[in-house]
Structure 1
């Protein structure tokens, strides 16, 4: 009898969960397709629910469905214009679409991508991801359409104040991009000494192995990190 009662309450609890709660649980389990169905059902009931729309945008991004992701993020940034993260996500999805588009189509999106990241950085002075996005944006786009190491360095300096690890990693990223590998080693070493994380290890290990072609340094680093 006790078993039956507990089973009844468990079943009732699952039944009483909203589509949103079911979707969120599945999302956390990385069951994105199943989660999407529940989120869509919930959005049919509550068309202006921001968190549900954000989840749907995130799922679209995971599957590289950039048009759908852009649509979701554009909607929530309009509903919450002061939220830095929504502008950042919108810019990220737009940037990924630009990367996969032809040059002429991409050129038409560049201004909106930059503006989204700049807005996010302006709205939140501590928003690390938007500063990383701006660094990568200014380094990777051609100078003729606004790319500039000098512009990127502005946000590297801001990162140094917010997070020394991110500051040194971003310096290293720029050095690697321009093949200044010895400078990159110095910056990645500084980042790794402070952070000693999987990320800092991977950046330095990849530099040793694939850029400096120094297998002995790579193996020594791996040995020390695994300790």
Structure 2
């Protein structure tokens, strides 16, 4: 007990200092002052190298800066420290996907398997993971059929979203219809999402479809005005 008390006596100031830095850094992070938050988080990490939240914030900061390799190092460490957290796999897969997007085609092809595996692992760990399903939908839409692109697989995840979150499900179905230029079908699905959710995102999706794909800018304008009137009341 005396030994433990001695250790805590010496560690106490360090832990308090780290905690203070973490609180400051987290506040700056939420204010989107990432360049100010980053060195404070790095100081926390020097004292507590396996602090999960600090590692995640640093990964997020590097992601916002599009420093994909550095972000993946943080998320990779998080996966090793806590292999049961779905979000770590999702974020790792997202960074890998963005890196692939910016790489040459040959290099990108080599990353596809790990990207899919990361998102699928996130869903395996959290059966209600919405973002991972959205990521897989986009992946299967964007990939050429010869390397795994598939409308059928994209629809599979849209149907899963429909059960978990009807708004996301209809938005996803609308996204697929829009991608394949089935604009009338997309309109129906976005309208269903809007009727259920009523959020700015749902109104914006339908308005963008009218303006950019269906050549109906006036309809888009009226729709957004309806949303503004709704939020005022």
Same fold (TM over 0.5): yes
Residue 39 of structure 2: aligned partner: 37
Instruction: Please name the residue that 1:165 is paired with.
Output: 167
- The alpha-carbon deviation at position 16 of structure 1 amounts to 8.8
CA distance in 1, matches of 2:117, 2:144: 17
Distance in 2 between residues matched to 1:149 and 1:30, nearest whole Å: 37
Q: Return the match for 1:188 from 190, 207, 214.
A: 190
- Alignment partners' CA distance in 2, 1:147 and 1:21: 44
SS at 2:110 equivalent: helix
Cα distance change, pair 106–16 in 1 and its aligned pair in 2 (3 A): closer
Alignment of 1:106-125 (within 5 A): 106-125=108-127
Task: Give matches, 1:18-29, under 5 Å.
Answer: 18-29=20-31
Matched residues in 2 for 1:71 and 1:16: separation? Answer: 22
SS of corresponding position for 1:213: coil
Q: Residue 155 of structure 2 contacts residue 176 of structure 2 at CA under 8 Å; is this kept in 1?
A: no
With structure 2 as the length reference, what TM-score do the two structures score?
0.89
The alpha-carbon deviation at position 18 of structure 1 amounts to 2.0
Deviation (angstroms), 1:142: 1.0
Aligned twin of 1:136:
138
Between the aligned partners of 2:168 and 2:188, the Cα distance in structure 1 is 14
Deviation at 1:220, TM superposition (A): 1.9
Output the CA distance in 1 between the equivalents of 2:224 and 2:90.
34
Unaligned runs of 5+ in 2: 1-16
Aligned mates of 1:16, 1:115 — CA distance in 2: 35
Q: What does the per-residue CA deviation read over 1:114-165, in whole Å, with 9 as the maximum and x for residues that have no partner?
A: 0000100111111111111111111111111111111111111110001110
Gaps of 5+ in 1: 1-14
The C-alpha deviation readout for 1:33-68, integer Å capped at 9, x for no partner, is 110000001101111111111000000011111111
Aligned position for 2:204? 202
Q: How far is 1:17 from its partner?
A: 5.4
Partner of 2:103: 101
1:83 aligned to 2:82?
no
Q: Give me the CA root mean square deviation.
A: 1.4
Q: In structure 1, what is the Cα distance between the partners aligned to 2:18 and 2:183?
A: 57
Where do 4+ consecutive residues of structure 1 move more than 3 Å? none
